[in-house]
């Protein structure tokens, strides 16, 4: 086991800089608004500016890897430089990759993003367990042994996912539970077995969905060790900071509040101001 688990790192980041997480999402329209080309160089400049603005203001950044991947190897080279700058700034980095597979394939995905010393090294990554939580056993083991984290998709904000994520499991230990609730329960059980104060495995729960409607018990998730939550959907997508306690209840203290376009749209000259304002507003809502 690594000397310091991801859950402990996350708790320290919350204590030092709050619970706001800023996405590094170089949408083509944002690059244009920032006066940057839709190229690997434009992505690099965009990402570095976001990281520099975040330094000392927030504790967590979340690069959306898809925007870099669309530029091939040059895009990945830009991302590697951004990740390096973020690590130097002591920011926690969640690679939003949403990888999912099984066997040696998903093991390799985990190695790419979670191996210490990798050029793509992040502190955590998002991952899909569509083929069952057991299918991601190798990335879980790697995360636990290296002090890294995983955030497993459970109840996402996109409406297309609702019918699948609220479908009932037919057989097995979690028969009768919704798919989303079964994932949450299994992740919670793994955290419980690890015995960390704050679980290094988390789940993705969209801020624009109701946990109850997905059959998810927030109280059960909050039992020690607390299972952390990555909550996209604040700001541009409609969820408000003032709603965080209503939406996440007892999980509020371990919820990562993710924003992206709502802050990034401020532009390069005002991005630091926008981050600081968002962090302050969130802090007031959590007080």
Q: How far apart are the first and last CA of the chain?
A: 34
- pLDDT-wise least confident of 21-30, 74-83, 194-203: 194-203
Specify whether 98 is catalytic.
Answer: yes
**pLDDT tens-digit series, residues 167-195:** 999 999 999 999 999 999 999 999 988 87
| SS (HEC) of 106-118 | HHHHHHHHHCCCC
Share of the chain above pLDDT 90, in %: 87
Between residues 123 and 287, the one the model is more confident about: 123
Q: Report the alpha-carbon distance of residue 221 to residue 204 in Å, rounded.
A: 12
Average pLDDT over every residue of 257-273: 95
**pLDDT tens-digit series, residues 212-247:** 999 999 988 887 668 899 999 887 777 899 999 999
Given the residues 98, 148, 185, 240, select the one marked as catalytic: 98
Q: Report the alpha-carbon distance of residue 209 to residue 213 in Å, rounded.
A: 8
Residue linked to tokens 């499991």? 169
Instruction: Dihedral sign for Cα 68, 121, 99, 203, please.
Output: negative
Predicted pLDDT at 3:
55
The set of long-range contacts for 175-180, using a CB threshold of 8 Å and a minimum separation of 24, is 177/215, 178/214, 178/215, 178/216, 180/154, 180/155, 180/214, 180/215, 180/216
Average pLDDT over every residue of 109-137: 96
Average pLDDT over every residue of 106-125: 97
Predicted pLDDT at 2:
43
Predicted pLDDT at 176:
97
Share of the chain above pLDDT 70, in %: 98
**pLDDT tens-digit series, residues 147-168:** 999 999 999 988 899 999 999 9
Q: What does pLDDT average to over the chain?
A: 94
Average pLDDT over every residue of 35-57: 97
């Amino acid at each position: 086991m690594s000397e310091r688990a991801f859950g402990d790192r996350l708790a320290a980041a919350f204590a030092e800089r709050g619970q706001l997480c800023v996405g590094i999402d170089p949408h083509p329209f944002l690059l244009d608004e920032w006066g940057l080309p839709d190229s690997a160089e434009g992505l690099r400049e965009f990402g570095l500016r976001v990281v520099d603005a975040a330094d000392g203001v927030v504790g967590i950044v979340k690069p959306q890897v898809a925007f870099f991947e669309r530029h091939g190897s040059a895009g990945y080279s830009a991302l590697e430089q951004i990740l390096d700058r973020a690590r130097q700034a002591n920011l926690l980095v969640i690679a939003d990759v949403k990888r999912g597979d099984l066997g040696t394939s998903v093991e390799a995905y985990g190695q790419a993003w979670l191996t210490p010393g990798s050029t793509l090294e992040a502190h955590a990554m998002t991952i899909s367990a569509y083929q069952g939580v057991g299918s991601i056993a190798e990335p879980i083991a790697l995360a636990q042994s290296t002090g890294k984290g995983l955030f497993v998709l459970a109840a996402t904000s996109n409406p297309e996912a609702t019918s699948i994520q609220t479908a009932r499991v037919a057989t097995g230990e979690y028969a009768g539970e919704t798919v989303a609730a079964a994932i949450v329960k299994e992740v919670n059980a793994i955290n419980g077995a690890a015995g960390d104060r704050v679980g290094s495995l988390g789940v993705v729960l969209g801020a624009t969905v109701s946990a109850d409607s997905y059959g998810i018990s927030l109280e059960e998730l909050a039992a020690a060790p607390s299972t952390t939550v990555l909550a996209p959907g604040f700001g541009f997508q409609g969820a408000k900071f003032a709603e965080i306690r209503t939406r996440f209840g007892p999980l509020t203290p371990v919820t990562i509040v993710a924003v992206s376009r709502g802050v990034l749209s401020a532009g390069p000259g005002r991005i630091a101001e926008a981050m600081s304002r968002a962090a302050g507003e969130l802090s007031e809502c959590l007080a």
